[in-house]
Structure 1
Amino acid sequence: MDASPSADRPARRRPILVAAGVVAAIALTLLGLDRVADYAARRWALAQVESSAATAAALRVAVLRSEIEKQRSLPLALAQDPDVRRALEIGNAARIDALNTRFEHLAASIRTGVIYLIDADGHTIVASNYRTPESFLNSDYGFRPYFRLALAQGRAEHFAFGTVSRRPGLYLAQRVEADGVPIGVLVLKAEFDALEDEWRRFAEPTFVTDARHIVLISSVPGFRFRTTRPLDKVEREAIRESLQFGDSPLELLDLDPTAADPAVKRVRLPGQAKREDFLESSLPVPTTDWTLSVLAPTAATTNLAGTAARTSAALLGVVAIGSAGLWRTRRRRRARAEAQEAEARRELEARVADRTTELSAANAQLRTEMEERRRSRLAIDALQDELVQASKLAVLGQIAAGVAHEVNQPVAAIRTFAENSRAFLAQGQTGPAVENLATIAALTERIGAITGELRAFARKSAARLEPVGLGTVVDGALLLLRYRLLQNDITLKVDLDVPEVQVTGDRVRLEQVFVNLIQNAAEALDTRRDGEIRIASATGADKVVVTVADNGPGLPPEVLGALFLPFTTTKTQGLGLGLVISKDIITESGGTLAVANAGGAVFTITLPRASEATS
């Protein structure tokens, strides 16, 4: 008896149900794979953003600290200036007018806000902005905390909103004394407008907060004088009474962490309708109670990585589904294998073409991102050049006293010889007078050499690799440091086997390296009575090896291995950047810089020897 149609129906449905189950299993697998790929890609992208933000924060902390240190040295030097003391003691109008002009030129040359002098009663008698409508002259600053602290303790630092200029800044105050008695306060107001403008060139918003979490400096103007945590009523009233931040509302800055990752903050920038996700990286600013934070945008990087991952997962799924369909078609329908196979291939090629278009768009976005990173690299190189210049200026601040003494000695001698020559000429003795004039000419040449070296050392210029005499470089560094070595009774031995040999490098930057190494050696020998620094060279066919050694205590083992890393130092007041910059200068010259302990610290510099054809 034949089977009924109803009996055959389940048999016909079974392959359909099996096929449907296979397709459902593949779809679920692809969905899970898509989610896993998307999650992994986003985590990888956040790690890349975090690393980039940490690097940017470290560089900006270094630049900010260098700017602050550069400004700190000037009030200390000006407080010792005899003209400043005489202006407070005597108050002659002509002297004060001259000091106004001098402060004006000095403020313009070092790109600071205002330099002004306050008498013991709190009234400003000299100001660099005396020509402007916001002049500080005759203003009463006796109520300002930095004035009271500096007068009582010798120095003070205070960030506040200017009551006259209406611009914020860091006030660096130094007490001026006469015979140990306080007679006034010298104040330098450091403004950070240029630094904020520099930060605005980058995509990452950057801001600096104080110990109370109040934003002091920011690349986003709308962040300034807002807080990253709520202030209680007592804190808010105390700040209002001090007039430190004027009438700023001190509102809370909107930095809400996301639920998925607390390190990612959701922020609404001024002028934008919706909030965006940023990854925050914060570092303390050494020698201050400030904290620098960088907000790195995450959307572009995570979206791009997620799109690439999902596209790859989808392409893999299309290939898997197409292969499974092709395999099943060949098994069940061999009679129509060629036709169905061609159709499956056409469908697969169409899908692959679509996915390829998406990948091409993703690759275009990646190329755009690479171009942005290249521009960021150029900006970082510019910041590194600024850091090298700031390091030179900080070194000049340290050796200024020695250079001044080197100049004062021949100036005093010139005056003595000039007076003697006048006496000889009055007596008709032209011979001794001519000899004195020749001596005066030699002394002026010595002053010219010192000041010329100082100007060349301070000048900001791009690195230029060219042949330069090794002896010239060493002599230039010693010209700036000779008085300090004599003052500390340190013996200097220079043994260059071929002084006239030429190496490849930038003369001023190589001098900066030797100044840094000799200064470090002098500081290591500060407590020794038999201190000695030895500079020696060995000339090879294609390279020159120079050693700078001292007989000091050497470097601790824990510091020796990390000496060329940023912020590693044995000095209590050191930045930890001098040797990092020195190593970079030697590296860009094609050489190496190494250190070891051998009866004291021994620094070994290897430089390429300039060929005779080049020189």
Structure 2
Amino acid sequence: MIDLLANPGNPALVAAVNEDLRQTAATVRASDVYLMDISGLTIAAASYREPSSFLGRNFNYQTYFSQALGGALSSFSVYGTTTGERGYFYAAPVEDGERIVGVLAVKFNVSAFESIWRGANSEFMVADRNDFVFMSSRPDWHFRAMRPLSDATLRLIAQNLQYPIDRIELLPITTSPLDADARLVTIEGTERETYILTSQRLADLDWTMSSLSPIGPATLNALQSLLIAGLTGLLLLGALLAYLLKQARLTEAFAKEQDAKRVLEAAVADRTTDLETALGDLRQTQTDLIQAGKLSALGQMSAALSHEFNQPLAAVKTYADNANAFLDRDQVAQAKDNINRISKMADRMATISAHLRNFARRPQQATGPLLLNAVVQDALAVIEMRLAAQGGEIAYTPPKTEIWVTGGHVRLQQVIVNLINNALDAMEDQAKRVVTLDVTGTSLHVRDTGPGIEHDAIAKIFDPFFTTKAPGKGLGLGLSISYNIVSDFGGTLCAANHPDGGAIFTVKLQRAAPIKVAAQ
């Protein structure tokens, strides 16, 4: 995010941060997560794929933005004038050393919390410091003030676009105290409703959360009639005791609801932590398996590697001896020719070493735009050593135009090497082994002329540890790892039998915008 705030015009950074924010929002079930520069302009958002995305919008007028820009962690409730959603926002500064270079905000949809309340025996509402109801199990109570709001308060709400000013109305509510913890309230609407109200102050947020337990109209009228008729002291005492008992039960029920809510929140937090830990372990295991697969492939090509290095070394020895002999005879031109040949052999060994080093290094997890043909050529350079030692041929015609796809160079190279190795293994009993590579759009097809895939195996071919090879010739992880790598790129990997015989594997990737390379 710091890199993007320093260079907001970099399309690769924009794409990477947008996708990171989208996955973060999905993990924590947020409505949106978005990044703003110090002017308040949104330059990246989890909702970048959606028409109502915050991208390009400026929120410098919001209280949560100004508080976070000042270095504080802030939170704020607001009604979305564009989306029509009631959201709750958290915001924090993005710091580069001692400088604040931007603000990161997280939005949660309030409706998701209200849905938990609906269907309960009681009604619920949450009011801010001005007794303004912004959350409730009753939609008709939304944006209702429990007392008249001052002009200053209304101006502040309008300035922050916190609530829709044109929808603010008074909630016709009257209250009378019952005891220190409860009040009897009456709300006038399409019909008169009476509740027992108990409240809890949330000091950190300066909110008041209230539970309203309904009292049946018939019960209330009967109680009033008995009081008016002047029942005896015993009946009055019995009614009072019954009423107090009901109050105690309501208070106890509310306390149980609060306890259940706290237990649920703790369980969700623990489960979220466990899932995040498991996801991290899974990603690390996948990376380790990819690395082990590449090292295993290099081990299988050890004979080819020995041949590729021994042949240039033997030639270097011969050319060096020849150069010495020519120098002894004062044949300088022939000696220089042999020295030039030695230099070319050294370049060849350096090229082989570079391909092996790039193939064997541990890949990074970042993805971005890359040229598909460049990755294919690097994969062919690695597989060339197996072909030299064990035989085989690759039929590949590069595409005439540059095709840019989204992925990681080293991980996509590993997928292609895995598919070519599997194709060669499938044709190990054939005298002529030809693997055909074909690029169509953003799809790469790898075909062999082996016996094909059994019908029952197609559905399980990408499962971990599933293999049709003989014992000792594979763990059944290559295709599973390749499938997960392509999925991480937002693409697909599928297998089928070709109509003309053999199997064909298709890697379909997402198209990416080309990266402009500055002229030298």
* Counterparts of 2:369 and 2:120, CA distance in 1: 57
Letter paired with 2:336: V
> For residue 482 of structure 2, what is the aligned residue in structure 1?
582
Aligned match of 1:399 in 301, 304, 310?
301
* Counterparts of 1:614 and 1:366, CA distance in 2: 49
> For residue 452 of structure 2, what is the aligned residue in structure 1?
554
Aligned match of 1:363 in 264, 274, 287?
264
* Counterparts of 2:425 and 2:266, CA distance in 1: 53
C-alpha distance after superposition, 1:119-177 (max 9, x if no partner):
xxxxxxxxxxxxxxxxxxxxxxxxxxxxxxxxxxxxxxxxxxxxxxxxxxxxxxxxxxx
Given the alignment of the two structures, is residue 565 of structure 1 paired with residue 463 of structure 2, yes or no? yes
Checking the alignment, whether the CA contact within 8 Å between 1:466 and 1:506 is kept in structure 2 is yes
**SS of residue paired to 1:608:** coil
Provide closer, same or farther for how the CA distance between residues 488 and 381 of structure 1 changes in structure 2, counting only shifts above 3 A.
Answer: closer
| Unpaired runs of at least 5, structure 1 | 1-311, 316-322
Checking the alignment, whether the CA contact within 8 Å between 1:402 and 1:484 is kept in structure 2 is yes
Checking the alignment, whether the CA contact within 8 Å between 1:330 and 1:337 is kept in structure 2 is no
Letter paired with 2:247: R
Letter paired with 1:594: C
Letter paired with 2:400: V
* Counterparts of 1:345 and 1:440, CA distance in 2: 100
**SS of residue paired to 1:422:** helix
C-alpha distance after superposition, 1:309-340 (max 9, x if no partner):
xxx9999xxxxxxx9x9799789978448976
Give matches, 1:431-510, under 5 Å. Answer: 431-498=333-400, 500-510=402-412
* Counterparts of 1:425 and 1:454, CA distance in 2: 36
* Counterparts of 1:384 and 1:484, CA distance in 2: 25
Letter paired with 2:464: P
Provide closer, same or farther for how the CA distance between residues 454 and 336 of structure 1 changes in structure 2, counting only shifts above 3 A.
Answer: farther
Aligned match of 1:350 in 251, 255, 262?
251
CA offset at residue 602 of structure 1?
0.6
Checking the alignment, whether the CA contact within 8 Å between 2:323 and 2:335 is kept in structure 1 is yes
Checking the alignment, whether the CA contact within 8 Å between 2:446 and 2:504 is kept in structure 1 is yes
379-388 vs 549-558, which deviates more?
Answer: 379-388
Aligned match of 2:286 in 365, 384, 389?
384
Checking the alignment, whether the CA contact within 8 Å between 1:469 and 1:499 is kept in structure 2 is no
Checking the alignment, whether the CA contact within 8 Å between 2:491 and 2:509 is kept in structure 1 is yes
Checking the alignment, whether the CA contact within 8 Å between 1:594 and 1:604 is kept in structure 2 is yes
Checking the alignment, whether the CA contact within 8 Å between 2:367 and 2:407 is kept in structure 1 is yes
* Counterparts of 1:471 and 1:499, CA distance in 2: 9
Provide closer, same or farther for how the CA distance between residues 567 and 605 of structure 1 changes in structure 2, counting only shifts above 3 A.
Answer: same
CA offset at residue 493 of structure 1?
0.8
Given the alignment of the two structures, is residue 592 of structure 1 paired with residue 492 of structure 2, yes or no? yes
* Counterparts of 2:409 and 2:398, CA distance in 1: 17
Letter paired with 2:418: N
Checking the alignment, whether the CA contact within 8 Å between 2:373 and 2:399 is kept in structure 1 is no
C-alpha distance after superposition, 1:338-376 (max 9, x if no partner):
976864653343022211221132023213312233223
Give matches, 1:70-81, under 5 Å. Answer: none
C-alpha distance after superposition, 1:207-240 (max 9, x if no partner):
xxxxxxxxxxxxxxxxxxxxxxxxxxxxxxxxxx
* Counterparts of 2:421 and 2:304, CA distance in 1: 12
* Counterparts of 1:533 and 1:597, CA distance in 2: 14
Letter paired with 2:447: A
* Counterparts of 1:330 and 1:610, CA distance in 2: 69
* Counterparts of 2:317 and 2:227, CA distance in 1: 111
Checking the alignment, whether the CA contact within 8 Å between 2:396 and 2:438 is kept in structure 1 is yes
* Counterparts of 2:462 and 2:401, CA distance in 1: 28
Letter paired with 1:431: A
* Counterparts of 2:494 and 2:516, CA distance in 1: 27
CA offset at residue 547 of structure 1?
0.9
* Percent of pairs with identical residues: 33
Structure with the bigger RCO (C-alpha within 8 Å, sep 6+) is 1
**SS of residue paired to 2:436:** strand
* Counterparts of 1:332 and 1:507, CA distance in 2: 79
* Counterparts of 2:216 and 2:406, CA distance in 1: 68
Letter paired with 1:495: T
Checking the alignment, whether the CA contact within 8 Å between 1:326 and 1:344 is kept in structure 2 is no
Provide closer, same or farther for how the CA distance between residues 503 and 428 of structure 1 changes in structure 2, counting only shifts above 3 A.
Answer: farther
Letter paired with 1:350: T
Checking the alignment, whether the CA contact within 8 Å between 1:493 and 1:532 is kept in structure 2 is yes
Checking the alignment, whether the CA contact within 8 Å between 2:359 and 2:410 is kept in structure 1 is yes
Letter paired with 1:579: L
* Counterparts of 1:356 and 1:337, CA distance in 2: 33
C-alpha distance after superposition, 1:184-225 (max 9, x if no partner):
xxxxxxxxxxxxxxxxxxxxxxxxxxxxxxxxxxxxxxxxxx
* Counterparts of 2:306 and 2:487, CA distance in 1: 33
CA offset at residue 600 of structure 1?
0.7
Checking the alignment, whether the CA contact within 8 Å between 1:545 and 1:607 is kept in structure 2 is yes
- Give aligned pairs, total: 294
**SS of residue paired to 1:528:** coil
CA offset at residue 556 of structure 1?
1.1
Give matches, 1:175-574, under 5 Å. Answer: 335-336=225-226, 343=244, 346-369=247-270, 370-498=272-400, 500-539=402-441, 544-572=442-470, 573=472, 574=474
CA offset at residue 606 of structure 1?
1.4
328-337 vs 551-560, which deviates more?
Answer: 328-337
CA offset at residue 444 of structure 1?
1.1
Provide closer, same or farther for how the CA distance between residues 426 and 465 of structure 1 changes in structure 2, counting only shifts above 3 A.
Answer: same
Checking the alignment, whether the CA contact within 8 Å between 2:303 and 2:389 is kept in structure 1 is no
Checking the alignment, whether the CA contact within 8 Å between 1:490 and 1:530 is kept in structure 2 is yes
Checking the alignment, whether the CA contact within 8 Å between 1:329 and 1:337 is kept in structure 2 is no
Checking the alignment, whether the CA contact within 8 Å between 2:496 and 2:503 is kept in structure 1 is yes
TM superposition score normalised by structure 2: 0.51
Provide closer, same or farther for how the CA distance between residues 504 and 433 of structure 1 changes in structure 2, counting only shifts above 3 A.
Answer: farther
Checking the alignment, whether the CA contact within 8 Å between 1:465 and 1:504 is kept in structure 2 is yes
| Unpaired runs of at least 5, structure 2 | 1-118, 123-212, 229-238
Provide closer, same or farther for how the CA distance between residues 611 and 314 of structure 1 changes in structure 2, counting only shifts above 3 A.
Answer: closer
**SS of residue paired to 2:322:** helix
Letter paired with 1:597: N
CA offset at residue 491 of structure 1?
2.5
Letter paired with 1:591: G
**SS of residue paired to 1:496:** coil
* Counterparts of 2:345 and 2:510, CA distance in 1: 36
CA offset at residue 390 of structure 1?
1.9
* Higher helix proportion: 1
* Higher strand proportion: 2
C-alpha distance after superposition, 1:385-404 (max 9, x if no partner):
22222222222221222222
C-alpha distance after superposition, 1:269-312 (max 9, x if no partner):
xxxxxxxxxxxxxxxxxxxxxxxxxxxxxxxxxxxxxxxxxxx9
* Counterparts of 2:511 and 2:301, CA distance in 1: 30
